[in-house]
Each structure stands twice: as structure tokens, then as C-alpha cells.
Amino acid sequence: MEGKKKIFSGMQPSGSLTLGNYLGALKNWVALQDEYDCYYCVVDMHAITVPKEPKDLRKNTYEVLANYIAAGLDPDKVTLFIQSHVSAHAELSWILNCFSYYGELGRMTQFKDKSKKQDSNAITAGLFTYPVLMAADILLYQADLVPVGEDQRQHLEITRDIAQRFNNRFSETFTVPEPYISTDVAKIMSLQDPESKMSKSDTNENAYILLTDKPDAIRRKFKRSVTDSLGVVNYSDDQPGIKNLINIYSKITNIKPETVASNYEGKGYARLKEDVAEVVVEELKPIQERIDYLLKNKDYLEEVYRMGAGKAEATAIKTLRKVQKKVGFIPR
């Protein structure tokens, strides 16, 4: 591991993972695992920033971990762990809260979007300071790169600002991380509203494809996907629904979006929808088999997350101790 650059990333167990999580982030994680020293986390502490049933959180946490492994992450190569198992995340987060400003947090678009969806009396302080916990996640591991989807770019910027502010106030403490966002298709959109991203916490289940959706459900959801009334397949911002279907097809087959569009010239939307559904079904088939197997082997998953927490903690504690010393805390 010595000498390899470090990567940190995470996903919330706010539901089962979607095709957006997979194509926008998880596939990149797998591609990077040989070249980098990777820490991949299930961020359960982030998931409770909005109301969550304890039994759902437990179930989703196992599922997300199983999804990581099933998608191709190798627990012997990367560190896979659960955020709440390494208490340094909470501890650093508090300190960084004291170096983050109300104004900058209020400008976060994810906070604005998510708080709009909540009753105004139910917007928690945790939802507001969510990006600070994310900064703590990343900075604890001195990560060089953070592979995420486009929607997380602003959170990476605030992480960089917090790191630089701390380094300037004290001395070099944190590596200032770079986002790693695939430039081709960084955002998979909702199948029901192609202007907003596909999200696992959407209330309409037709809006997303879960990695665990059965072939029939996948076909049905694509068939019902919202497009437009133009009736001509083009790869254009004026046709966001069609563009999204082409992007999904392109991401899976590695065929350029423009080529996909010209292959469907004059063929109609129904055919495109059917074919996209088929490539998705095929791509997910082996992953689903592995997910089923892993979820029946909880002992194995427990072994993976325990080993991961041990490795993660050993790295995290070094940064935490340094930070505590710099701010003036007396060691016990």
C-alpha cells in the first residue's frame, strides 16, 4: 500500500443502490481498486440526517455492503467499512464544525433540495452540517482522490475549503482532495422526471432502477419512462428523457452516445426502451446473483466490515490525534 495514492468514497444506506449509484460512482470505484489505496464506506451516519426506520437502516446497510462486493470490490484489496464503526468520523466532524461557516453551509444545493422535501420543523441540524461530516470522512484518510457523481462536486469544494482553512490556520495537516468525476456520463436521471437525478430516496419507485430489481420490473420501468412527444431519437438536451436512455445504454455498452443515437434513427422510442432494458438486465444479472448469495451469508459480510473497521481506524486515528493536538486539546 505504501506509495499508492489514497481514495475515499461512500454511499448512504438510504435505500438499495440504484443504477445511478452504480453507473455514476460504483463502477469507477471498482476500476480504481488496483491502482489506489481505497477506503470505501457505508455512510450510515449520513443516512440518519433525514428520518429513517432503524430496521430499514440495518437492512440497507447490509445491502449496500453486499452491493459493493457484488459490483466487484474485492475486500482483500480495498478497505470496506461502516462509518459508525470508526468513531473518529464523529470526533473530527465536531472539530471541523467549528471551522465551517453557517453561510457556506446554507449555500449547499443538496441541503436546499433536501430541506424543501421536509416539513420545515423537521429539518435537522444534522442535515445542515452533513457536508462537514463528509469532509471529516475524506480528510481523516488524507485522501488524494474522491470518486463521486456530479451531484457531489459542491460538497468536494467545501471539503477542500475546510481543509485549506485548517491548514492555513495551523500548519499542513490535511491533504486537499480532488474530485474524480467521470466526464462522459456523470449523472443518470430519474426515469419519471429526466430533469432531476435518479435517487434511491425518490418516493416514486418507477423513477429508479435498483440493482436488485427483477428483469420484469426493469422492463416495466423503462417502458413507462417519461420521454417527449417529438418521436425522433436524438442525443440532445432538448430531449432529456431520450438523452438519459442513450446515456444508460452508452455507459453499459461503451458505445458513444452519438453512435447509439444514430443507430436508433427512425426506429421509435419503444424499441430504444426495450433495448436499454435488455442491456441493463444483462449487466445486472451476475451482480444480482452475487447480492443474493452475500445476503444469505451475513457471517461473511460481518467478517468483511469488522476487518475493514480495524484497518480504517488505524489510519483515521493518526489524523485525529494530530488535529486534536493542533487545536489545543490535552492528550488523555
What is the rounded CA–CA span in Å between residue 288 and residue 316? 33
Asked if 129 and 105 count as a contact pair (C-beta separation under 8 A), the reply is yes
Classified as helix, coil or strand, 189 is strand
For residue 314, the minimal CB distance to ligand ATP (Å) is 25
Asked if 200 and 188 count as a contact pair (C-beta separation under 8 A), the reply is no
The mark string for 147-166 relative to ligand ATP (x by CB under 6 A, - otherwise) is: -xx-xx--------------
The residue written with cell numbers 435518479 in the block is 198
Which entry of ligand ATP, ligand LTN, none binds 233, CB below 5 to 8 A by partner kind? none
The mark string for 39-78 relative to ligand LTN (x by CB under 6 A, - otherwise) is: ----x--x--------------------------------
What is the rounded CA–CA span in Å between residue 16 and residue 60? 6
- Considering only residues 14 to 33 of the shown chain, the ones binding ligand ATP according to CB under 6 A are 14, 18, 20-21, 24-25
For residue 64, the minimal CB distance to ligand ATP (Å) is 8
Conformational region of residue 61, where left means phi above 0, alpha means psi within -120 to 50, and beta covers everything else: alpha
Q: What share of the chain is helix, strand, coil (3-state, %, to 5)?
A: 55, 10, 35
CB-wise, 156 or 323, nearer to ligand ATP? Answer: 156
Asked if 12 touches ligand ATP (CB under 6 A), the answer is yes
H-helix or E-strand spanning residue 12: none
Rg of the chain in Å (alpha carbons): 21
Bridge partners of residue 42, in order along the sequence: 11, 82
Asked if 70 touches ligand ATP (CB under 6 A), the answer is no
- Considering only residues 239 to 298 of the shown chain, the ones binding ligand ATP according to CB under 6 A are none
> What single DSSP character describes residue 18?
B
Asked if 37 touches ligand LTN (CB under 6 A), the answer is no
Report the 10 Å Cβ neighbour count for 257: 16
Which residues have a catalytic role annotated? 114, 197, 200
Of the listed pieces 135-143, 144-152, 229-237, 297-305, which binds ligand ATP according to CB under 6 A? Answer: 144-152
The mark string for 141-160 relative to ligand LTN (x by CB under 6 A, - otherwise) is: -----x-x---x--x-----
Interacting residue ranges for ligand ATP, rule: CB under 6 A: 11-12, 14, 18, 20-21, 24-25, 148-149, 151-152, 187-188, 197-201
Interacting residue ranges for ligand LTN, rule: CB under 6 A: 8-12, 43, 46, 134, 137-138, 146, 148, 152, 155
